[in-house]
Amino acid sequence: MSLFAKDNLLAWCIVPFDACKRGPQERAAMLQRLGIRALAYDWRDEHIESFDEELHQLRDHGVEMTAFWLSGSYPQDEQGVWEDPHLRAALEFVERNDLKIEMWKMLVGEDLQQIADVNARYDAAAAQVEVLAKVFNERGCRYGMYNHGSWGGEPATMVEVVKRVEVDNVGIVYNFFHGHDQLDLMPDAFTAMRPYLMSVNLNGMTPQGPKILPLGRGERDREILQMVADSGYSGPIGLIDHRPEIDAEISLRENLAGMQKILAEIGDERALATYQ
């Protein structure tokens, strides 16, 4: 399968950011209509009660929930995981449905940045990740460090922390929309992350431009897609909404159209054929 084939796409940031405020059934039907077969699930407190219905509707519509975003703290031990209401809700959902999926959580940076010694800071970050990673690993889930700005979202930071975590199945989820200030580090930074990447989430990228643009409308989009393709990365490609002022279906359609435009420009006929 080609990296940018439609079958390799997942939808991301479409739950709390949808201007139409779709429920589980409407969202699953929308993804089915668009031919997007995977969802990374982003949620807020009001969605906790509908976790199971979300999964049920996705399955009924031929869409797989492949990843689950984690809110909550970084507990010091497993007991602390259960004491955090957000982490407990996620863990109970995974156990209840015997899900073996990716769990995405940003690496918290503000408290870690107070540690002056860089080596000690990396060790503290690794220890922070390990508690949750062990809990989810025991349940067959992979742990994805999610870049969201600050020190914890820098490519070099995430690579070093993954190397120091003494738990298997820990990787990196890289969102370009949180990496505007990291474009000048590419392609070296992407090459360093590539062995650990679990998902790469794309959108339109213009330096000093809006944080979120539809794919294909940014100045650097063709360059970025070519770089990702040339890197040897073979995991899923995320298309994001993250524009609360717009219907998520319109947003995803714009991204799909932008993907086709770029695929035509770079001559990836094999991937382009999957959008027909």
Residue 190 lies in a domain: yes
- Give pLDDT < 50 ranges for the chain: none
pLDDT, position 113: 78
| pTM for this predicted structure | 0.95
pLDDT, position 56: 98
Residue 259 lies in a domain: yes
What is the DSSP code (8-state) at residue 197? E
Q: Where does 106-170 have alpha helices with state H?
A: 118-137, 155-164
Domain limits for position 145: 6-275
Q: How many domains does the chain have?
A: 1
The answer to whether 107 and 153 are in contact (CB under 8 A) is yes
Can you tell me the distance from the alpha carbon of 204 to that of 220, in angstroms, rounded to the nearest whole number?
8
Is 267 exposed, middle or buried (CB count within 10 Å of its CB: 0-12, 13-18, 19+)?
A: exposed
pLDDT tens digits along 138-156: 999 999 999 988 888 999 9
pLDDT, position 109: 59
pLDDT tens digits along 190-225: 999 999 999 999 999 998 888 899 999 999 999 999
Look up tokens 């820990």; give the residue: 170
Can you tell me the distance from the alpha carbon of 125 to that of 104, in angstroms, rounded to the nearest whole number?
16
Going from the C-alpha of 196 to that of each of 2, 6, 142, 160, 175, the distances in angstroms are: 20, 23, 12, 11, 14
Residue 1 lies in a domain: no
How are beta strands 197-202 and 102-106 bridged, if at all?
Answer: unpaired
pLDDT, position 206: 92
Residue 15 lies in a domain: yes
Provide the CATH number for the domain around residue 31. 3.20.20.150
Task: Report the SS3 class of residue 109.
Answer: coil
Can you tell me the distance from the alpha carbon of 102 to that of 142, in angstroms, rounded to the nearest whole number?
5
Residue 217 lies in a domain: yes
Instruction: Please list the helix, strand and coil fractions of the chain in percent, rounded to the nearest 5, in that order.
Output: 50, 15, 35
Phi/psi for 120 (5° steps) reads -65, -35
Look up tokens 């940014």; give the residue: 218
